[in-house]
Structure 1
Amino acid sequence: MFLKVIAPRNPIKLVLAFGLLASAAAFAAAPAYAGECPADQVATNAVQSMPSAPEGVTDEVISTIDLSTKGDAWKGNRFRLRKLVVQPGGVVPWHDHSTRPANILVVEGAISEYSNTCKVAIEHKAGEATAEFGQLAHWWKNNGSVPAVLYSADILPPDMDAHGAM
């Protein structure tokens, strides 16, 4: 994996990165398009087993934009686009989004999300997107028989390593 910083002078890549984010946001805004927690299963601080290490996951950073030039409020923040491939049985470990908002787009396969806000697994299929922010903490597992391919667009705060945050 490598870190690629898109300079402001490369507008094509910048437009493509923001285009993917906008597409993911548009999908996430559509009601019931992405997997959702059933209304009778919504919880606060649902207790579940929580894996702490990735397993069967490749995490490729496609591009990163340093947002510091956008003003003091953005100093040290980075906008990152990644491709994650989660093999059958693979796990994206427990993490939270209190300081790192993200949009996830599932492009191949399916994946199950185990969240602190739901008592049961939330299923996400190819073509679905979901927004991750606020007090959400969760982990993902590919319970299927084919790899799940996800694209993640997130904003990393200054204290997070670009390669360490799932």
Structure 2
Amino acid sequence: MNLNRKTNSIALAATLALAATAFGAALPGGSAFAGNCPADQVAEDAMTPGPMMPKAVTDDVISAIDLSPKGEAWKTSTLRMRKLVVQPGGIVPWHSHETRPANILVASGSITEYRSTCKVPILHKKGDVTAEFGHLAHWWKNNGKVPAILYSADILTSETQKNESM
């Protein structure tokens, strides 16, 4: 490798590292994965089921992609993006993520999660992202004074469509 190519590679790597650091620092609300269960509060079946009906929440599908053209394994699957607006006092009811992986971004406001795998409620603030998958069931409540706006990306199968309300 000649000296100019090596110098350019080092400069590019340094620029990318600086950009990644700047991007992380610019995320609202601090760490993008904040709002996790404290390690000493994690437990199986730590939280009993909560409310089973939604309250003061809108749930709008803003995009959906049929994944069936990707092959047999994706035959009944859809990748969807939703916007949920949870009013103060509003509730996203108890539901499971055993078969429906999702990522949730809190775009504004804050919301409290009551998770089956955590002994204490978890506060999620603007900018937090929560991964939901596996042996997890939970419900959410907006205990704040302003609406909480959440964006959810999940993989929905025809089976989970029959069984999931949120």
Which runs of 5 or more structure 1 residues have no equivalent in the other structure? 1-26
Matches within 5 A, 1:48-59: 48-59=48-59
1:135 match: secondary structure: coil
Q: Matched residues in 1 for 2:32 and 2:128: separation?
A: 10
Measure how far apart 1:32 and its partner are: 7.4
Partner of 1:103: 103
Q: Distance in 2 between matches of 1:147 and 1:63?
A: 22
Distance 1:32 1:90 in 2: 24
Equivalent residue, structure 2, for 1:44: 44
Supply the AA of the counterpart residue of 1:135: H
Q: CA offset at residue 44 of structure 1?
A: 0.7
Number of residue-to-residue matches in the alignment: 138
Indicate the residue corresponding to 1:124 in structure 2. Answer: 124
Q: CA RMSD in A?
A: 2.1
Corresponding residue number in structure 2 for 1:13:
none
Match of 2:91 in 1: 91
Aligned residue in 2 for 1:137: 137
Identity of aligned residues (%): 64
The amino acid of 2:57's aligned partner reads V
Listed one character per residue, the Cα deviations across residues 1-26 of structure 1 (whole Å, up to 9, x for unaligned) are xxxxxxxxxxxxxxxxxxxxxxxxxx
Which is worse superposed, 89-98 or 152-161?
Answer: 152-161
| Cα pair 2:47 2:117 within 8 Å, conserved | no
Offset of residue 34 of structure 1: 2.1
Q: CA deviation at 1:33?
A: 3.0
Q: Distance in 2 between matches of 1:150 and 1:165?
A: 16
Q: Per-residue deviation at 1:49?
A: 4.9
Instruction: Supply the distance in 2 between the matched residues of 1:33 and 1:102 (Cα, whole angstroms).
Output: 14
User: CA-to-partner distance for each residue in 1:33-56, whole Å, 9 max, x for gaps?
Assistant: 320111221111013351000001
TM-score by length of 2: 0.78
Question: Which deviates more from structure 2 when the two are superposed, residues 34-43 or residues 59-68?
Answer: 34-43
5+ residue gaps in structure 2? Answer: 1-26
TM-score (norm 1): 0.78
Taking the aligned partners of 1:75 and 1:165, their CA distance within structure 2 comes to: 22
Cα distance in 1 for residues equivalent to 2:136 and 2:118: 10
Q: What do residues 60-112 of structure 1 show as CA deviations (whole Å, max 9, x unaligned)?
A: 00011100000000001000100000000000000000000000000000000
Q: Name the structure 1 match of 2:112.
A: 112
